[in-house]
A and B are shown apart, each in its own frame.
Chain A
Amino acid sequence: MSAAAPIQLRLRLRYPRASQDALALDATLPGRGITAIFGPSGAGKTSLLRCIAGLERAEGVVRIGDETWQDARRRLPTHRRALGYVFQEASLFPHLSAGGNLHYAERRAGADPMRRAEVLQLMGLDGLLGRYPHQLSGGERQRVAIARALLCRPRLLLMDEPLTALDPARRREILPYLEALHHSLDIPILYVTHSVDEVARLADNVLLLENGRLAAQGHASDMLPRLTQAGDEQAGVLIQASLAEREPRWGLALLRFDGGELWAPDGQEALQAKLRLRVLARDVSLSLEPQGRSSILNRLPARIEAIETSESAPQALVRLRLGSTPLLARITRRSVAELGLAPGQRVWAQIKSVAVVR
């Protein structure tokens, strides 16, 4: 697919006897890449996906590029929409083996041996095909489910919190597969999640939902800071950088971005490669002067934009800017008071750990 036409959504969903709409949304989503649909429980994320799929009857318009799935005149039933849907719990057919489940999709969408081989390899399913769902682990089931959704040649892939039902070990196991998916697929993916971590690692764009309404929309790196709160362990930022230099002696690479330069572990990427970095708030400390000798490699000048505190918690979240790049730092309220930190002030940010996400 060349120029990816955007996805248009105008949806109103109201349940019988309800006093207001469960979902009221007007948005245009990019026609490629992973768009994360983020929000607290009950925000309507799953409802949105189900409306797009036609599993719920909403009023409005659903247009995927040049295909109209729903408008004022007609509504295509789910089985006529060229979509792939991965449900929260794998939902494999229990009476079919893994291979049988995949075959089910192929039989109805048209089999393509090359595509099948590709998908099998992508999801690492060789050797699993003969097993039945109850003989597979949660992670394996989910991978089969994703493969099955891919094999029905969708124009749009919908994923409803595919990792939420898995334990952390399984989640870690599957994430690389999802990242690989992102690289090799050129169809848009709508990915519902309430995990900031997943957004950080996978999303290109973010749609923020609150109470069934669109609260915000934008690129992941811009949106990420908004998604976090002071007490959130995963609070952090994404920085788009390019690899400027390598220092093989120390196994480090210098990454340049708008706002400065950072040292990070060398992942053997090529020079000038575009990388996404993640910096967690808890790995950032602040000082009023550049320190003397210290073990922390990355020390950058930054300006404080805002300080968020709450009476009961000992910690505060400081929102900073490195040039135009946002940065978050979590420090104690006591330090805020003792250092006399205030918005507008210039400080030095000491970044202890930088993770290259992609």
Chain B
Amino acid sequence: MSLSAQDWAAIALSLRLATVSTVVLLLLGTPLAWWLARSRHWLKGPVAALVAMPLVLPPTVLGFYLLLLMGPNGPLGRLTETLGLGLLPFSFGGLVVASVIYSLPFVVQPIQNAFEAIGTRPLEVAATLRAGPWDRFVSIALPLARPGFISAAILGFAHTLGEFGVVLMIGGNIPGATRVVSVQLYDHVEALDYANAHRLAALLLGFSFLVLLAVYGLRRRRPALSL
């Protein structure tokens, strides 16, 4: 594959972004999913709707509003400046924040469903066996929800890898920091450089397919967990 150095840089950046975003999403999404699965508070409905919003918002719209919010005149931008972090747009950090928001439902919902599928019985049993709340979460809920975590990680990673609209709006196309594969591909097409576009697209598709194949293949070999 004769891809340019720029193309390779874009690929490396995209992989880094997808990995970092997925890790952040799993860390943030797990307690959120747990609360959504178990709570009966009236706030549960509104929060669930908010989490699902990125599913229906066009990515460019989301990106545009993030641009405003994270800018010097927006609340988030003012916060980051006060904290000495500068501004988020045009930075890798900004892309991570945007990716986390954009892929949130893809990570939270599978984990939430997995937690709900566990039901209350295994946790009650664990309580009668002297397991406290944190113990129950770690020794029962997490292992039983493992398929949900795997789905969430795959979906989050794949979704971020393919992200375009949001990055387009707040990325600024900076090599090494925000020039991700999707934007690079788009630029090839816009510049009528179809040959490069085809090469890059083929690589991206091939890679994604292999990753998904490996992970879905792995899942099938695990013994069935009948609850």
- A/B touching: CB–CB < 8 A: yes
Q: Are B128 and A94 in contact (CB under 8 A)?
A: no
B125 contacts which of A80, A87, A95, A132 (Cβ < 8 Å)?
A87
Q: Does B227 lie within 8 Å of A94, measured CB to CB?
A: yes
Judging by beta carbons under 8 Å apart, are B128 and A108 in contact?
no
| Distance A152 CA – B130 CA, assembled complex (angstroms) | 8
Whether the pair A104, B139 counts as a contact (CB closer than 8 A) is yes
Partner of A94, one of B130, B135, B225: B225
Pairwise interchain contact B125-A79, C-beta atoms closer than 8 A: no
Of listed B128, B131, B224, B227, residue having the most chain A CB within 10 A: B128
- Asked if B132 is at the interface (CB within 8 A of a chain A CB), the reply is yes
Residue from A83, A93, A132, A134 within 8 A of B128 (CB atoms): A83
B31 interfacial by beta-carbon distance below 8 Å: no
A348 within 8 A of B: no
**Size band of the interface chain B makes with A:** 20 to 34
Q: Mark A12-56, 1 if CB is under 8 A from B, else 0.
A: 000000000000000000000000000000000000000001110
Given contacts A95-B143, A95-B144, A104-B139, contact A109 B225 (CB under 8 A): no
Q: Give the residue among B124, B140, B144 with the most A Cβ atoms within 10 A.
A: B124
Query: Within 8 Å CB of B124, what residues of A?
Result: 55, 78, 87
In the complex, how many angstroms separate the beta carbon of B134 from the nearest chain A beta carbon?
11
Nearest CB of A to B144, in Å: 6
- Cβ < 8 Å to A, chain B residues 131-157: 131-133, 135-136, 139-140, 143-144
Q: How far is the CA of A133 from the CA of B227 in the complex (A)?
A: 10
Number of A interface residues at 8 Å Cβ cutoff, please give it.
Answer: 25
Whether A132 pairs with B131 at a CB distance below 8 angstroms is no
List B contacts of A78 (CB < 8 A). Answer: 124, 127-128
Q: Is the CB of B226 within 8 A of A94?
A: yes
Shortest CB distance A81–B (Å): 8
Say if the beta carbon of B175 comes within 8 Å of chain A.
Answer: no
Q: Does B41 contact A (CB under 8 A)?
A: no
Q: Does B129 contact A (CB under 8 A)?
A: yes
Inter-chain contacts of B227 with A (CB < 8 A): 94
Closest to A96 in B: B143
Chain B positions within 8 Å of A55 at CB level: 124, 127-128
The complex places the Cα of A54 from the Cα of B131 at a distance, in Å, of: 14
Measured between alpha carbons, how far is A251 from B130 in the docked complex, in Å? 50
Is B217 at the interface (CB under 8 A from chain A)? no
Bound Cα distance from A87 to B120, whole angstroms: 13
- A307 → chain B closest CB, angstroms: 47
**Complex Cα–Cα for A203 and B168 (A):** 74
Shortest CB distance B147–A (Å): 11
- The reply to whether A149 and B128 form a contact with Cβ atoms under 8 Å apart is yes
* Interchain CB contact under 8 A, A104 and B129: yes
Instruction: Determine if A105 is an interface residue (Cβ-Cβ < 8 Å).
Output: yes
| B121 close to A87 (CB less than 8 A) | yes
A94, B129: Cα distance in complex, Å: 16
B128 A53 Cβ-Cβ under 8 A = yes
Interface residues of A (CB under 8 A from B): 53-55, 77-80, 83-85, 87, 91, 93-95, 104-105, 108-109, 132-134, 148-149, 152
A/B interface sample: 8 pairs, CB < 8 A: A78-B124, A79-B135, A93-B140, A94-B225, A105-B130, A108-B129, A134-B224, A148-B129
The 7 lowest CB-CB distance pairs between A and B, nearest first, are A85-B128, A78-B127, A108-B130, A79-B127, A95-B143, A134-B226, A105-B129
